[in-house]
Amino acid sequence: MEGENGENRAEGSIQGYESLHRLLESNLKPELFKEVSRIILGLNCGSPLEHITLPENATSLSSKFNFDLQAFSFKADKEMLREPRVVRVGLIQNSISLPTTAHYADQKKAIMEKIKPMIDAAGASGVNILCLQEAWMMPFAFCTREKKWCEFAEPVDGESTQFLQDLSRKYNMVIVSPILERDLKHGEIIWNTAVVIGNHGNIIGIHRKNHIPRVGDFNESTYYMEGNTGHPVFETAYGKIAINICYGRHHPLNWMAFGLNGAEIVFNPSATVGELSEPMWPIEARNAAIANSYYVGSINRVGTETFPNAFTSGDGKPAHMDFGHFYGSSHFSGPDSSSTPSLSRYRDGLLISDLDLNLCRQIKDKWAFRMTARYEMYADLLKRYLEPGFEPQVIVDPALRKPEHR
């Protein structure tokens, strides 16, 4: 794991999305920066996103516990027949707190103690819905393929859920908690699961990760397989939400299915490292928000996690003890192509945004993606594609055919 000096050197040589935006702001003339910002971050109802002023008790928590805190507002056009439907939503990214060699109970307790001030800051800021990162209650040990990390798995109503239920009741907040689930009713098998906790502390339901990465010999199916919960949308007190867990963001039909079920906000809790996916990070979620006319909240953990035993990643490199740098950079994307700047690439953080859900319908009306889609054609193609005798619809240029020998 890199120390502080190593991180500083890396930050000087590798500019994250938000770092690049700040660099451009400090080096470009105001009018040119305004145009560059429009292209990078888009416009919301014709204007840049506005910053939100948060209460002092939230900003003081940010200073005391050294986490990045940013807040923005997505607006919608004023309507004649509907009042604005503004919901305040938060995303938390964090590093682990203790070495991976520490007792598992101590590791879990330390992570809870780390994120509690961030949840308190969200509560003090009036956040209605909060989402944590993938498998937030443990190190992201799935790269090791060692079964001992299954000890972190919990039932849906386990320790992590109970911890968040108290905070949910305290702050009248819906909390999405992605955990490693142990399914006690089905032979104690393991799932990668998001638990949706209602604002009264009740468990609304769960969603299990639909797509499992198999990249080189990084294969999460060592621990869990594809989920069996479909594409549920959870109607909460504050809006209709869904969870597209990590690797599912690479599958456009996965995003589409949540939209077809009526999602207004889709969270993408993730754990992904720079060398593997960073160029994709600001693109996929933003594209999903545009294509499906909903908001997307993208969360990625932060830091470099070192494990006691070396492992390989199928990339031809020698065995190593860390998976790479989790680059944070959590952000929101709007259905009108606007996007917030991202959180830090190196620090824990809380990103807050006011989302006017009326914008979802307004963009549907403007672009008519649902109305102009050809679902019957897609359905027919997919049905034929799944048949063993499928023949791709390819029309060959006759000039490419070899002349017959006479």
By annotation, the residues acting in catalysis are: 134, 209, 246
Question: What residue spans of 96-193 are helical by DSSP H?
Answer: 104-124, 159-171
CB 173 within 8 A of CB 128: yes
CB 363 within 8 A of CB 293: yes
Q: How far apart are CA 269 and CA 364, in angstroms?
A: 25
Residues with Cβ within 8 Å of residue 65, at least 6 apart in sequence? 114, 117, 118, 348
Site of tokens 């060692």:
146
Q: How far apart are CA 282 and CA 333, in angstroms?
A: 9
Tokens of 230: 């479909």
Per 3-state DSSP, the chain is made up of helix, strand and coil in percentages (nearest 5) of 35, 25, 40
Residues in the chain: 406
Site of tokens 């952000």:
331
Cα–Cα–Cα angle for 85, 92, 13, rounded to 5 degrees: 120
Q: DSSP string covering 184-208, please?
A: TTTTTEEEEEEEEE-TTS-EEEEEE
Q: DSSP string covering 229-242, please?
A: S-S--EEETTEEEE
Residues with Cβ within 8 Å of residue 6, at least 6 apart in sequence? none
Q: How far is residue 348 from each of residues 89, 92, 145, 177, measured CA to CA in Å?
A: 17, 8, 26, 17
Amino acid making up residue 63? S
**Dihedral sign computed on CA atoms, order 67, 137, 128, 49:** positive
